[in-house]
Amino acid sequence: MSSQPEAIHNIPKIGFGTARLGGRIIPNRSRETSWLSILNTAFDSGSTYFDTAELYALGYSEELLGRAYRQSNKSRAEIIVSTKAWLNHLSFNSLLRACEHSLRRLKMESIDLYLIHIPNPLIPLKETFRALNLLVHQKKVKHIGVSNFNQKILMEAMDLADFPILTNQIRFNILDKACIENGLLEFCQNNNILVTAYSPLRCTTIFKNETILSISKNHQATPQQIALAWLISHPKVITIPMSFNKTHQRENLEAANIKLSKIEIDQINLI
């Protein structure tokens, strides 16, 4: 395995997810002004790590993100962009084309972090990583990652990658601790692979929990901020909450400054 070129330094603990931005699966271009406004406030609030995918609104999310970036006063070096290739684009030539299409929609020369969105058992992983490795060598992609990989498939991917796998993006929140229970989190930590927790706030029933409310009061924070702070209290875990609300966007970022005590973490672990 080669050393990674242009390593990402200081990747934020809390990024900005774009699922549902631009529409769910079918693009909703009638709300373009509104979509761009949401992204503009995310940039203005201080977000520097943005996660998207070719699946999100069939690439419209990527297009919007690229446009919002160009409207911001950020230099390309100040932001980190990750996007993902869908499972029907994981053959060698198809993945190369998918990457070109994502670059065209983003109007960027390279992707900071390019992920396999979900494994496809019908396409050999060896073929997929042959394309990913080439994309890094061609400098169209700076870093590679995966999403929704279990430990077995992740081990196979590590053997096939010419470059370190930067992250495994998985569902992880206070009510969904499967990655802890099945050992996937520990495996990633031991192998220097970041876990990117998606759906970090899709545990809405927990926000009325007495333990969470008590901890929130102790920190003068919202329950949502405590949920994010709990996630990133785990070593090598980052997260990508999504919000259309400017206030919530700012609060999400501020959650990175909340330091939970060991007692508080243990209390949340028991929920």
Class of domain 16-204+235-245: alpha beta
**What distance in Å separates the CA atoms of residue 250 and residue 252, rounded to the nearest whole number?**
5
Nearest-5° angle of CA 32, CA 35, CA 40?
Answer: 120
Q: Known catalytic residues?
A: 56
The rounded mean pLDDT for the chain is 96
Per residue in 23-61, pLDDT tens?
A: 988 999 999 999 999 999 999 999 999 999 999 999 999
**What distance in Å separates the CA atoms of residue 84 and residue 246, rounded to the nearest whole number?**
25
Res. 194: pLDDT tops 70? yes
Contacts of 45-48 with CB under 8 Å at 24 or more apart are 45/246, 45/249, 45/250, 45/253, 46/250, 46/253, 47/12, 47/15, 47/16, 47/249, 47/253, 48/12, 48/15, 48/74, 48/78, 48/79, 48/80
Per-residue pLDDT averaged across 117-145, rounded? 98
The answer to whether 13 and 238 are in contact (CB under 8 A) is yes
Per residue in 63-79, pLDDT tens?
A: 999 999 999 999 999 99
Each domain of the chain, given as residue ranges in start order, spans: 16-204+235-245
Res. 230: pLDDT tops 60? yes
